[in-house]
Amino acid sequence: MNRCDELATCTEEPDRLTRPFASDAIGRADEHITTWMRAAGMTARRDNMGNLRGRYEGAPGSTATLLLGSHVDSVRDAGKYDGPLGVLVAIAAVQALHDRDVRLPFAIEVVGFADEEGLRYGTTYLGSRALAGTFDEAELDRADARGVTMAEAILAFGGDPNRIADDRWSGGTLLGYCEVHIEQGPVLEARDLPVGLVSAIAGQSRHSLTFTGVAAHAGTTPMGSRKDALAAAAVFVQAVEAYAGSHEGLVATVGQLIVQPGAANVVPGEVTLTLDIRHAVDADRILASERLLDDAARIATRRSIAVTTTQVSDNASVACSPRLTSSLSQAVRDLGHPAIQLASGAGHDAVVMAGLTEIAMLFVRCKGGISHHPDESVAEADVAVAIGVLGRFLDLLAAGQ
Ligand SMILES: [Zn+2]
């Protein structure tokens, strides 16, 4: 908990926690984490993308590696636990081995991912994509708000942008990747449980819709002859809420509307909006997309205006490994807690790591389900449970269970 507080002081902005990719703030956080990794008997290095990689060697002759970790970067005005908690819990579990002078029949690599949130370049999972070997080098040309390209930022942070391919995992057999993360939702709190297992990470569809009516004078255009794009969009927003609200496990959000011309005295002629749909079952998500886009078309037709839709992204849900999750569940039960499973509505580095190896995730209860906010909060006792569970999980894997 003290370490989470300490990392929270590593920020780009004086009064709030903002820790973007390849910033001085993340550099300072990495220095702290490196010290803690070394104290836990690990070697630590940073790869070209800026992932901090701490390695705790296994017993002599061991060849496989288990990956643990989470991300070190943050959103703007972030909380203290989203990301860093997973890195610090992993280090604490390794520290417990080191303190007992125990070497497992596999090595452990704890990764502090360089970028998960995508704050600086608007593109997420830079760190895990480099490690999983799925980073697209065309993205190196992206510029941040100050015009600094990703390649320049990587160079300034000590990495070689021409050698991102070297970051891809090349250390032999992987046993899997396990990530501890705050839940970012209310389920564990409602069930009065310190931790829970993630069954799957929800798939996500993102669409952009544009309703096009006719901009007109707000004073002289009678109500009956308007083609108000925003009024149509408003009906659509309600339809989205109603549909998601009546389908189990589905969440759908209109998070952004751009209203044109956007003046108090003009009937809105055009509205472009975003639609984000998530479900742990891909078929349900795809059906919801179809139904809601049909609704948009119907709403537009009824009002004699036009609507165009574009799919922005389509990410399938990612299932957690039954084998690793079963060991993790056993570890939770061994510590005397019920092991429940829940789907993650938020994306995580584990999504990308699933392309490289089997994944498992442990959620830690967070107060009020609040995240991406300075009020983000976890209980010390729950963090202790998470450290204990991860330690027990390592024992079970070492015993081949
Ligand atoms: Zn996170």
Instruction: Specify the pLDDT at position 85.
Output: 98
Q: How far is the CA of 328 from the centre of ligand 1 (A)?
A: 20
Q: What is the pLDDT of residue 59?
A: 97
**Interatomic CA distance for residues 31 and 202, integer angstroms:** 34
Ligand 1 geometric centre to CA of 287 (Å): 28
Token pair for residue 277? 């749909």
Q: How far is the CA of 43 from the centre of ligand 1 (A)?
A: 24
The CB-side HSE value for 297 (13 A sphere, CA atoms) comes to 9
Distance 340 CA to ligand 1 centre (A): 21
- Ligand 1 center–CA 126 separation, angstroms: 13
Phi first, then psi: give them for residue 53, nearest 5 degrees. -125, 110
Q: How far apart are CA 77 and CA 34, in angstroms?
A: 24
CATH assignment, 206-315: 3.30.70.360
C-alpha 90/C-alpha 113 separation (Å) is 13
Positions in the chain short of pLDDT 50: none
Cα 228 to averaged position of ligand 1 atoms, centre (Å)? 39
Both tokens assigned to 336: 């005397």
Report DSSP state, residue 329: H
Task: Give residue 123's pLDDT.
Answer: 85
**CATH superfamily assigned to domain 2-201+319-398:** Zn peptidases (3.40.630.10)
**What pLDDT is attached to residue 82?**
97
Output the pLDDT for position 312: 86
- State how far the Cα of 224 lies from the Cα of 316, in Å rounded to an integer: 44
| Beta bridge partners of residue 180, listed in sequence order | 362
On whether the CB atoms of residues 144 and 168 are closer than 8 A, the answer is no
User: 218 CA to middle of ligand 1, Å?
Assistant: 45
Residue 151 Cα to ligand 1 midpoint, Å, equals 24
Q: Is the dihedral of CA 160, 163, 165, 169 positive or negative?
A: negative
Tokens for 208, please give them.
């952009």
Rounded to the nearest whole angstrom, what is the distance from the C-alpha of residue 140 to the centroid of ligand 1?
Answer: 23
Span from the CA of 348 to the centroid of ligand 1 (angstroms):
6
Per-residue pLDDT, 313: 85
Give me ligand 1 centre to Cα 21, in Å: 14
Ligand 1 mean position, distance from CA 116 (Å): 7
The CA 83 to ligand 1 mean position distance, Å, reads 4
**Nearest to residue 353, comparing CAs of 63, 22, 139, 51?**
51
Give the pLDDT score at 32.
98
Residue recorded with tokens 């579990």: 93
Chain region(s) in the chain for CATH 3.40.630.10: 2-201+319-398
Instruction: For residue 172, report the distance from its CA to the centre of ligand 1, in Å.
Output: 27
Q: How far apart are CA 326 and CA 332, in angstroms?
A: 10
C-alpha–C-alpha distance, residues 304 and 331, integer Å: 59
CA of 44 to the centre of ligand 1 (A): 22
Dist. CA 82 → ligand 1 center (Å): 5
Query: Hunting for tokens 């007109």 — which residue is that?
Result: 216
pLDDT value at residue 315? 87
Start and end residues for every CATH 3.30.70.360 domain found in the chain: 206-315
